[in-house]
Structure formats: structure tokens, C-alpha cells
């Protein structure tokens, strides 16, 4: 079983490149509420649930404002530059002969390190998220605010119904 060093080097470089690109995934977005609100129901419900009074509030949309939040970015650790340099050196070593191979390897190391550092910086960059705060003035004069991912078709002045934390046009 004779495996050439060239095919082994190519396989190692592909594996290292796949590992490096896995670090580029964006950070997840966590939201505290949704519009329309849909409560999570338990898996099993009692046979005779307690009767709850139906209570709905009515009002109108007083204000819709955009709330921007930003995740903190982290600087580069140097891991991307090291991984990129190794991958670039392995790939650069596949080209040329003699002193040309040494030059291609050196260029591969430098280019790979710059690219790896750039990929890591992009993955760790701060991200900006937008949510909306819908303020509703109820018929009894109180104000209620709901933070939602999207206001949907709600506009200022729309008549709405609030039932169990769910906003709907009325």
C-alpha cells in the first residue's frame, strides 16, 4: 500500500481547509419574544383543565420604534493566521521544483496566514440586530410595550386586541 506524499499532503490541506471554514459560521440570534406570540404548550395536559376567565384588552398602537442591539466582537487570536499559514504552505509546496518550490511554499504561507487572519476577524466581528418595540395604549389608559422581531402589518393608530400576550389587529 504505497500512498504518495503528494496525495497525503493534498488530503491534509483539504481537511485543514474544511476545518478552517467551519469557524466562519455566524453567531446565533436569541430573541426573547415573538410576534404573534405563540405560547409553548406542555406535552401532556390534564383531563379537566381549570377554567380560566377570558380576558382581552383593547387599544391602539401608539408607537413602533426600532431597537438596535450589537453583539460584542472579539479580536483575532492568531489561530486563523496559523491555520491559514499551514494550509497555504502545504498547498504552495505542491507547485514548482527546487528554488521555485521554496518560493511557492513561502508565498503560500504568507498568503494563507493573511487569509486565515481575515476569516477569523470576519467571524469574530460585532453583529448588529434589529428588533421592534410596539407600544400600545389600552382603552383604560394604560400603556403596554411588546418587543417583537417584526411588527408585521401593524401601523401606528391601528386598533388591536391583546389576548394572553398576543397582539392582533381588531
- Give pLDDT tens digits for 109-130: 899 889 988 888 888 888 888 8
Q: How many domains does the chain have?
A: 1
In a domain, 97, yes or no: yes
- Alpha-carbon torsion 57, 62, 68, 69, what sign? negative
Strands annotated E in the chain = 56-70, 128-138, 143-148, 159-163, 166-169
Cα 50 to Cα 42: distance, rounded to the nearest angstrom: 15
CA dihedral 32, 37, 42, 43 (to 10 degrees): -110
CA-closest candidate to residue 151, choices 32, 68, 31, 66: 66
For residue 62, the model assigns a pLDDT of: 93
Asked if residues 29 and 129 have their Cβ atoms less than 8 Å apart, the reply is yes
Report if residue 31 sits inside a domain: no
Looking at residue 98, its pLDDT comes to 83
pLDDT at position 8, please?
Answer: 67
Q: Does 107 map to a domain?
A: yes
Please give the residue range of the domain that contains residue 72. Answer: 5-24+51-169
All cell numbers assigned to 73: 466582537
3-state secondary structure of 41: coil
Cβ pair 150, 37 in contact under 8 A: no
Looking up cell 381588531 gives 170
Residue 139 lies in a domain: yes
Residue 32 domain-assigned? no
- Looking at residue 61, its pLDDT comes to 93
Residue 30 located in a structural domain: no
Does the model's pTM come out above 0.85? Answer: no
Structure confidence by residue, pLDDT tens digits, 126-161: 888 888 999 999 998 888 898 888 888 889 999 999
Specify if 40 maps to a domain: no
**Within-domain flag for 119:** yes
Amino acid at each position: 500500500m504505497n500512498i504518495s506524499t503528494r496525495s497525503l499532503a493534498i488530503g491534509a490541506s483539504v481537511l485543514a481547509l474544511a476545518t478552517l471554514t467551519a469557524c466562519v459560521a455566524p453567531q446565533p440570534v436569541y430573541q426573547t419574544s415573538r410576534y404573534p406570540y405563540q405560547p409553548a404548550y406542555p406535552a401532556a395536559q390534564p383531563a379537566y383543565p381549570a377554567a380560566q376567565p377570558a380576558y382581552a384588552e383593547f387599544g391602539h398602537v401608539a408607537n413602533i420604534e426600532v431597537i438596535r442591539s450589537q453583539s460584542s466582537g472579539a479580536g483575532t487570536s492568531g489561530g486563523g493566521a496559523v491555520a491559514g499559514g499551514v494550509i497555504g504552505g502545504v498547498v504552495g509546496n505542491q507547485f514548482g521544483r527546487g528554488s521555485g518550490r521554496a518560493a511557492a511554499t513561502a508565498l503560500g504561507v504568507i498568503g494563507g496566514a493573511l487569509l486565515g487572519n481575515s476569516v477569523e476577524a470576519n467571524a469574530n466581528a460585532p453583529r448588529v440586530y434589529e428588533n421592534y418595540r410596539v407600544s400600545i395604549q389600552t382603552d383604560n389608559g394604560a400603556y403596554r410595550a411588546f418587543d417583537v422581531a417584526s411588527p408585521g402589518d401593524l401601523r401606528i393608530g391601528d386598533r388591536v386586541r391583546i389576548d394572553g400576550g398576543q397582539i392582533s389587529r381588531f
